[in-house]
Structure 1
Amino acid sequence: MAPQVTLFSNTGVPNPAKIAIFLEELNIEYEVIHRSLGKGGPDGAQSAQYLELNPMGKVPAIVDHTNNDFSVWESAAILLYLAERFSPDGKYSGKTLEERAVVSQWLLFDASQLTPNIYELHVYKRWHPVKDLDPSINEHYKTEIYDLWSMLEHRLERQDWMALDRMTIVDIALIPWLMLSNFLRLDLKKHPNIATYIGRLEALPSVKRAYNHHFNELAQSSMEAADRKRDLIRDNRWESTIQNTSILRKNGFEFDYNMHRTHVRVDELLKICPNARVGG
């Protein structure tokens, strides 16, 4: 069957996962096309063709083949569009004016407050080349996140879902970023309602299908820190931040410019680049 929707994605970042989850929830036939972030060329998010679709040069973006190939970018806008297009009864976006207002306010809260702070911490923890230089940056974003989490924790004392008395696009928008809590070493013990909420989200069949089919790398980042470290030790592969990537290329190693990292064996790395900073 021809896809109803094309999703432009990148498997290592959370926002496209929101859209895949919702497409799974809606039982929509869709295809996923990978776009390399920060690159031109035919498969890059900075290619002229893709910039015509999404001038931001980011993912996600969709093309709705059931609506004259209409395209939408920005994950919150995509969720709203898909909800209205494929679930016009308001199940996921609100059935009344009041429900739609509540969904909108929480969706905008996520897009303008919660996700940006988790994103900054994620970038800092995963990719920043001097992340051990100033730990106050790490503490700043954690403090901001915990302040915002206090609102979520209070909200979840009274209900199972964030916006309404059922799952909505707000919950779907929150899933991928909250699932990074363990990787980011955020303290869920002090936020038991959020911890329960994350478990409820992870158990959704649509979430499992989306992650199993398209977001294995992101799922790896969502693992418990101890499990992730054990896998890294078993494979003897570590994230490495180095400055002279040409040395690696000359020795046959691939370097991902999007993520500013490479994966090599520690002993192999130190042979060719003795001053490399290696961390796990």
Structure 2
Amino acid sequence: MASKIKYYGLATPNGQKVSVALEEMDLEYEPHIINIMKNEQFTPEFIAINPNSKIPAIVDPNGPDGKEFNCMESGAILLYLADKTGKFLSHDPRLKWETIQWVMFQMGGIGPMFGQFGHFFKYAKDKCQDPYPVERYTTEVKRLLGVLEKRLEGRDFIIDDGYSIADMAIFPWVGCVETGYQGGEKLGLKNFPKVMAWKNRCLERPKTAKAMTVCSLH
């Protein structure tokens, strides 16, 4: 019987969340690159796994009922893997729900807003001359970074009992706006020292660092 989880993704922030979880939770998995630049997410084979045609996705041959289980949406995958392994999601009810709140904060705020910033700041420069989109998303990204900066006062990680799926969900996006989108100066990342120190702290974990290049095209 197959035992390895099949992971379909790319080394983007949403993909890195899942590869980090798989590595940190010591799960056996097979990485499969889905090259979104070649529209591989729209193939019938991938749509059968994720009908929304988005990365990442996993196929667990040993799902909750012992049968194969497909899971889409990066936040849902983090919660699924944490539940499956009992790792990186506190068993204390208060801390558990704090963690889930911060995962949702990433899903509803950090991901969409950081992604739109990157699109207009880096990729749509020649397509949109109107400064409004860049300024709008710059303002919102700074606001969200401010929320993180305040949360990290007196904390090494997002949740008080240590590294969790909340950190895994959020820190890849901070790294992306800094290096992927090259938005450090525009966003004034130096004005968020706690956030940047926390991001580096996450990357100091060997398994997390290893996971960042899983399914990389380079």
- Fold shared, TM-score > 0.5 on shorter chain: yes
Q: Given that residues 31 and 214 in structure 2 are in contact (C-alpha distance below 8 angstroms), is that contact kept between their aligned partners in structure 1? A: no
1:128 corresponds to which letter in structure 2? A
Instruction: For 1:126 and 1:73, locate their aligned partners in 2 and report how far apart those are by CA, in whole Å.
Output: 27
Q: Calculate the TM-score normalised by the size of structure 2.
A: 0.88
| Match of residue 191 from structure 2 | 190
Instruction: For 1:216 and 1:165, locate their aligned partners in 2 and report how far apart those are by CA, in whole Å.
Output: 35
Q: Given that residues 16 and 214 in structure 2 are in contact (C-alpha distance below 8 angstroms), is that contact kept between their aligned partners in structure 1? A: no
Deviation at residue 170 of structure 1 after TM alignment: 0.3
Q: Given that residues 125 and 131 in structure 1 are in contact (C-alpha distance below 8 angstroms), is that contact kept between their aligned partners in structure 2? A: no
| Match of residue 73 from structure 1 | 72
| Match of residue 150 from structure 1 | 146
Deviation at residue 102 of structure 1 after TM alignment: 0.5
Q: 1:156 to 1:131 in 2, by over 3 A?
A: farther
Instruction: For 1:3 and 1:208, locate their aligned partners in 2 and report how far apart those are by CA, in whole Å.
Output: 24
| Match of residue 24 from structure 2 | 25
Listed as ranges, the matches of 1:168-247 within 5 Å are 168-182=164-178, 183-185=182-184, 186-215=187-216, 217=218
Q: 1:151 to 1:129 in 2, by over 3 A?
A: closer
Q: Structure 2: any 5+ residue segments left out of the alignment?
A: none
Deviation at residue 174 of structure 1 after TM alignment: 0.8
Q: Given that residues 39 and 47 in structure 1 are in contact (C-alpha distance below 8 angstroms), is that contact kept between their aligned partners in structure 2? A: no
Deviation at residue 48 of structure 1 after TM alignment: 1.9
Give the number of the structure whose alpha-carbon radius of gyration is greater: 1
Q: 1:123 to 1:66 in 2, by over 3 A?
A: same
Instruction: For 2:55 and 2:90, locate their aligned partners in 1 and report how far apart those are by CA, in whole Å.
Output: 26
2:70 corresponds to which letter in structure 1? S
Deviation at residue 115 of structure 1 after TM alignment: 1.3
Deviation at residue 212 of structure 1 after TM alignment: 3.8
2:136 corresponds to which letter in structure 1? H
| Match of residue 272 from structure 1 | none
Q: Given that residues 39 and 46 in structure 1 are in contact (C-alpha distance below 8 angstroms), is that contact kept between their aligned partners in structure 2? A: no
The answer on 1:53 being equivalent to 2:49 is yes
Deviation at residue 132 of structure 1 after TM alignment: 6.2
The structure 1 residue matched to 2:163, chosen from 163, 167, 185, is 167
1:111 corresponds to which letter in structure 2? M
Q: How many residues align?
A: 209
Instruction: For 1:212 and 1:53, locate their aligned partners in 2 and report how far apart those are by CA, in whole Å.
Output: 23
Q: Calculate the TM-score normalised by the size of structure 1.
A: 0.69
Listed as ranges, the matches of 1:248-263 within 5 Å are none
| Match of residue 4 from structure 1 | 4
Instruction: For 2:135 and 2:36, locate their aligned partners in 1 and report how far apart those are by CA, in whole Å.
Output: 28
Instruction: For 2:195 and 2:76, locate their aligned partners in 1 and report how far apart those are by CA, in whole Å.
Output: 25
Listed as ranges, the matches of 1:90-169 within 5 Å are 91-128=87-124, 130=126, 133-169=129-165
| Higher alpha-carbon deviation: 132-141 or 152-161 | 132-141
